[in-house]
Amino acid sequence: MKRQPGFISTQLHRAIGESPTYLNYAVWQTVADFRTAFTHPEFRSKISAYPASAVASPHLFQKVAVPGICVA
């Protein structure tokens, strides 16, 4: 994915404790870049090779500024 136009960064998080949950957080320059990358044939072929137990649920989020706590 990091070779796709608009890719900025990614970070993989693993749940603490007994949970088998992982979160892959990626940052893209634009929503269009995200959509293009996730519909790319190479990505589609890789995700189809995930084990049957894997649940992939892509979501789009927008950064939110909270005064005194964080910036967008």
Query: What is the tens place of the pLDDT at every residue in 23-47?
Result: 988 999 999 999 998 888 888 888 8
d(CA 12, CA 21): 11
Exposed, middle or buried: residue 28 (CB in 10 Å: 0-12, 13-18, 19+)? Answer: buried
Q: What is the pLDDT of residue 47?
A: 81
For the chain, which domains are there? 1-72 (3.30.70.100)
Residues 6+ apart with CB under 8 A from 27: 8, 9, 10
The mean pLDDT of the chain is: 89
Determine if the pTM surpasses 0.85: no
Q: What is the pLDDT of residue 3?
A: 86
Q: pLDDT-derived band of residue 65, with 50, 70 and 90 as boundaries?
A: very high
Q: pLDDT-derived band of residue 70, with 50, 70 and 90 as boundaries?
A: very high
* Nearest Cα residue to 7 out of 16, 19, 32: 32
